[in-house]
Amino acid sequence: MNAWILAAEAFAVYGLVLWSHSLRHRYGLAFFYALLGSLTAIMSWVTDAGVAVQLGDTTYLVGSTVFYTSLLLGVFVVYVFDGPRATRVAILTVVGVSALVPLISVVLHLQTKISSTVPLALVPIPSLRVNMASVLTTLGDLLFLAISWEFLHDKKRALPLAAKAFLTLLGVMWLDVALFNTAAFLGSGNYLSIMTGTLTSRLVICAFAAPILWAYLSWQNAITGVEMPHRPVFAILQELSEVRVELQTAREEIKRRMQVEAALLKSERRYRQLILNASEPIAVVHSGLYALHNARLLELTGLSETDARTATFEDFVHPAQRAQVRQVLDQALARHGLSKSLEFKAVRGSGDLIDVQANIVGIDWDGDGAVLVFLHDVTEQRRAEDRLRADATMDQLTGVLNRRGFIESAEAKAERLQRERRGYTVLYLDVDRFKEVNDAHGHLTGDKVLREVARAARDQIREGDVLGRVGGDEFAVLLAGSCSREARSVGQRIVERIPGACREGEAACSVTVSLGVASLEPGMEESLHQVLDRADKAMLAAKRDGRDRVRVHGDAPAPDKDSGS
């Protein structure tokens, strides 16, 4: 009865291993490897527990009869049909589990001892000598299996497949007996009896398992596309030597990556220190937020350390320019290393407006895109430039535009009016007998006269009109959108206002001015200089008519004021 139970158990486990291997074309070898590992663990525990069946004078260990033989069959078929690389995985699985299971058993027993719980009767305490012998023997057996099969399959091609399978299996089993029993029991009194009994039992097991193996080999070999190739006798050893090379390569790669990571970490620390200790405001902007910034940036933005954690970079940009700045940021993000520069109005935490110049560079930040922003407060620089520009275009004596400033402003205004198909008028005025004023009252009084003339003219024009001193005692005005009649009225008020203004003002003398008017109607093709020239000619005509009057270019001379008409 025990013989039938042992045979049924062996047949079931052998069949399970071969069946899982047959599924490799559909599911791969993952399930097969898992089964080998599980059977190895069971074999280790069953062997340590000494589970055996006595049949006549021969003792059959269940661990070797059922589970070890099933592992041999598994490694056998995976080598024959799947090659050395797959066999390498199978061998390492079996050997690795064989080494770990006894260690797990020791840990479990140690845990029960420390915790004073019930001993694990079903988990045997392993023998170090026996388990070391088992691990080393298993490795030797599996390597020998592959070598002996290649020898018989390639060198003894005349042998039937069944004979090759039987001889390979028997050779491995007897090698296992010799190696394992020598390592585990050499020196004991019953060494020879154990050796003899085990050799006999393995012969019987081989006779039982070989037909099953032969049937599976024949079945698989008959499947289209499945072959039993001939390989070099020591192909499995070459594969294992490649493992050593691969492990060495892996170690070198791991070492190289560790060195690279250390260098990157060192570089990142240095990078952070450079930013934090920089003398100019610098920030790393990631997803719109300040991922890293220095103290100078807080000074520039007016933010506290707490506020900077939630503030966005766009909060710092004036709303009118946020779209422009966002476009530049996106361009830098799209291409790492791309540097972009721009200038924008910024709003500090206090609400003050400042002028900021920014240099923006796209960078990698923890595997994601970010921008490195260098900021510079150019508010004072721009104010100084504005002052210089004002000095270059303003008349320091009268406070109105000088000739250069008037021409630039008037041309810009005239071009815009012409694009809008609107006309404009130019007034050209000159102080009458200004040389006589200087000669009679001195140049200081003459300067006062010029200031009063400028003030009187400014009082009579609108905010959008342009006024400038274009000569020693000559002034010009551009009236936007005015016709000749309206402009004549403005000019008349200026002419009438100036004598009283000079008499009552700081000049304390009475002077008059002559004023010429020239208009450009919508659609007329004429430059500002041409209109100015016509206004100048009209002013000269006013002087010829008797001074202290307005003359429109193209109009007939007006009666002399002194004639009474």
Vertex 179: Cα angle to 177 and 185 (nearest 5)? 85
Query: Does residue 358 share a domain with residue 428?
Result: no
Instruction: Select from 382, 406, 423 the last residue of a domain.
Output: 382
Asked whether residue 188 is domain-assigned, the answer is yes
At 176 the three-state DSSP class reads helix
**155/179 same-domain check:** yes
Q: Can you give the pLDDT at residue 193?
A: 67
pLDDT at 247: 61
Point out the domain boundary residue: 336, 353, 382: 382
Is residue 565 predicted with pLDDT exceeding 60? no
Output the furthest CA–CA distance in the chain (Å, rounded).
163
Both 332 and 454 in one domain: the answer is no
Q: Which has more pLDDT, 206 or 239? A: 206
59 and 206 assigned to the same domain: yes
Residue 52 predicted with pLDDT over 70: no
Whether residue 40 has pLDDT greater than 90? no
299: pLDDT strictly greater than 80: yes
Position 165 scores a pLDDT of: 79
Helix (H), strand (E), coil (C) string for 469-513: ECCCCEEEEEEECCCHHHHHHHHHHHHHHHHHHHHHCCCCCCCCE
Calculate what percentage of the chain has a pLDDT beyond 90: 26
Task: Determine the structural domain holding residue 339 and report its residue range.
Answer: 278-382
CATH number for 40? 1.10.1760
Give the pair of three-digit tokens for residue 253.
Answer: 């790669």
- Asked whether residue 492 carries a pLDDT value surpassing 80, the answer given is yes
Which residue(s) pair with 312 in the sheet?
Answer: 289
Residue 564 has what pLDDT?
Answer: 35
Residue at which a domain ends, from 382, 414, 444: 382
Separation between Cα atoms, residue 159 and residue 176, nearest integer Å? 24
Structure tokens at 7: 């045979």
Tens of pLDDT, residue by residue over 380-439, are 888 888 888 777 889 999 999 999 999 999 999 999 998 888 999 999 999 999 998 888
Residue 105 falls inside a structural domain: yes
263 in a domain, yes or no? no
Amino acid at 156: K
Query: Which has more confidence, 79 or 407?
Result: 407
256 in a domain, yes or no?
no
What CATH number did the domain enclosing 286 receive? 3.30.450.20
Bridge partners, residue 377, by sequence: 356
- Is 300's pLDDT higher than 80? yes
Per-residue pLDDT reduced to its tens digit, 91-131: 788 878 877 777 777 666 676 667 666 555 555 555 555 55
Any domain includes 531: yes
Residue 125, pLDDT score:
58
- For the chain, the domain total comes to 3
Q: How much is the pLDDT for 409?
A: 93
pTM assigned to the model = 0.42
- Domain identity same for 227 and 350: no
Average pLDDT along the chain: 81
Q: Is the pLDDT of residue 236 over 70?
A: no
Say how far residue 489 (Cα) sits from the centre of its chain.
68
Give the strand pairing for 424-431 and 513-520: antiparallel
The residue ranking higher by pLDDT, 87 or 137, is 87
Does 430 lie in the same domain as 372?
Answer: no
In a domain, 352, yes or no: yes
pLDDT of 516 > 90? The answer is yes
Q: What is the pLDDT of residues 164-196, one digit of tens each?
A: 778 877 777 777 777 776 766 666 666 676 677
Residues 61 and 39 reside in one and the same domain:
yes
Q: What is the dihedral of CA 296, 302, 304, 309, to 10 degrees?
A: -80
Q: Are 162 and 51 in the same domain?
A: yes
Residue 563: predicted pLDDT: 38
- Are the C-beta atoms of 8 and 34 separated by less than 8 Å? no
Phi, psi of 208 (to 5 degrees): -80, -40
* Position 51 confidence tier, pLDDT thresholds 50, 70, 90: low
* CA-atom Rg of the chain in angstroms: 53
pLDDT tens-digit profile of 437-466? Answer: 888 888 888 899 999 999 999 999 998 899
**Same domain, residue pair 147 and 111:** yes
Domain harbouring 432, CATH code: 3.30.70.270
Please state the rounded mean pLDDT for residues 511-538: 93
What is 287-356 written as a DSSP string? TTEEEEE-HHHHHHHT--HHHHHH-BHHHHB-GGGHHHHHHHHHHHHHSTT-EEEEEEEEE-TTS-EEEE
- Does residue 195 form part of some domain? yes
Residue pLDDT, tens place only, 337-393: 778 889 999 999 888 999 999 999 988 887 788 888 999 998 888 888 888 877 788
* 93 and 208 together in one domain: yes
State how far the Cα of 543 lies from the Cα of 539, in Å rounded to an integer: 6
**Spatial contact of 470 and 516, defined as CB atoms under 8 Å apart:** no
Confidence of residue 222 (pLDDT cuts 50, 70, 90): confident
Q: Are 204 and 285 in a shared domain?
A: no
Domain identity same for 190 and 58: yes
Does residue 240 belong to any structural domain of this protein? no
| Mean predicted confidence (pLDDT) in 296-304 | 90
Q: Which one is predicted more confidently, 272 or 512?
A: 512
